[in-house]
Amino acid sequence: MDLDVFVSAHAPEWDRLAQLLARRRRTGAEVDELVTLYQRTATHLSVLRSSAPDPQLVGRLTQLVARARSVVTGTRRAAWSDVLSFLTEGFPAAVYRARRWWVPTALLSVAVAALLGWWIGSHPAVRESIAAPEELREMTRPGGQYETYYSSHPATSFAAQVWTNNAQAVALCLVLGAFLCLPVLYILFQNMLNVAVGIGLMTDAGRLDTFLGLILPHGLLELTAVFVAAGTGLRLGWTVIDPGPRTRRTALAEEGRAALGMALGLALVLFVSGAIEGFVTPSSLPTWARITIGVVAETAFLTYVFVLGSRAVRAGDTGDLESGGRSAAQPVAA
């Protein structure tokens, strides 16, 4: 076998395979081409080993075939680049794509909490159904339970407990969304009812400003994470009802994978809100300073979503797994 002729004939195919392997995203046609070139290059390597061994060329093709095999037949290991890609593209893209669900969910939920808070604060019979008058006074007085709640435990353990509880609520919203939205609505209503009770009782006690000073520093970011999770869960549930042009199985798989990634991202968001609740909310900082920290954290998150997220979506990112990390939607012929 004339080695020079063999290399001249097949070198463009090897170079093309190397180009495809260097890409982080590939179209369906490029994946098909990659599989075909991988099979051809593996054959070329076998021929070279048996007919005209050239250590340098064999080493190059061996490395090329090994890389292609890991893409075609195996799962790649997560790297720091994957983490960076998730934080700068995948997660914000998933949250941005779900904005038509979680933004209305947030607005409606806040309206419901405000309405329920007004109803509780304006009707003594409703407040008496919550607790006895003596207990209500103990809860809402200066230095009462509403104020001491945030400083009743060491900041570190309290932040960890808050993060765990909120992460569970977010995970339930995302997971249970597939059950036709109903569990998500229940979880969301319970969260808004808890906020409304605080608003109503502290309004009746003439201390609404104190309540808002305690809840806003961490509550802005925390409730936004809950709203994102609830909106995503509702979208997942609606996908079961109306999958659109996709099959129900495909639609649920795609949206479910995006929701799973979103759960990881929201856990980081809740970690930040938990740290604020554990260290900033009960601190001796002035009320305006504590609220400013909460507003800055909320603004940073929304900017992160609507700037990086919209940019990633325009680039084609959906928040789903990369093609190498999920199964093919249908068999591909080589």
Tens-place pLDDT, residues 274-333: 999 999 999 989 999 999 999 999 999 999 999 999 998 888 887 765 544 444 444 443
Q: In this predicted model, which residue has the larger pLDDT, 83 or 52?
A: 83
For a pLDDT cut of 90, what percent of the chain falls above it? 39
Retrieve residue 287's tokens.
Answer: 């009320």
pLDDT of 272 reads 94
153-190 pLDDT, tens digit per residue, is 777 877 777 788 888 888 888 878 777 788 899 999 99
Cβ-contact 249, 297 below 8 angstroms = no
pLDDT at 78 over 60: no
Match 């995006």 to its residue by tokens.
258
111-153 pLDDT, tens digit per residue, is 999 999 999 999 999 998 998 989 998 889 988 888 888 877 7
Retrieve residue 306's tokens.
Answer: 């609507």
**72-81, 164-173, 218-227, 254-263 — most confident range:** 218-227
pLDDT of 106 reads 96
Nearest to 191, CA basis, from 134, 242, 229, 156: 229
pLDDT at 334 over 60: no
Burial of residue 127 (number of CB atoms within 10 Å: 0-12, 13-18, 19+): middle
Cβ-contact 61, 44 below 8 angstroms = yes
**Average pLDDT over the chain, rounded to an integer:** 85
CA angle, residues 307, 254, 33, in degrees to nearest 5: 95
Retrieve residue 64's tokens.
Answer: 């090329």
Tally of CB atoms within 10 A around 187: 19
pLDDT of 332 reads 40
Q: In this predicted model, which residue has the larger pLDDT, 27 or 158?
A: 27
Average pLDDT (266-272) is 93
pTM value? 0.71
Retrieve residue 105's tokens.
Answer: 């969910």
Retrieve residue 186's tokens.
Answer: 């229940």
Q: Could you tell me the pLDDT band of residue 29, with boundaries at 50, 70 and 90?
A: confident
pLDDT of 333 reads 38
- In angstroms, the CA 266 to CA 279 distance is 20
Q: In this predicted model, which residue has the larger pLDDT, 52 or 107?
A: 107
pLDDT of 291 reads 96
Tallying the residues shown for the chain, one arrives at 334
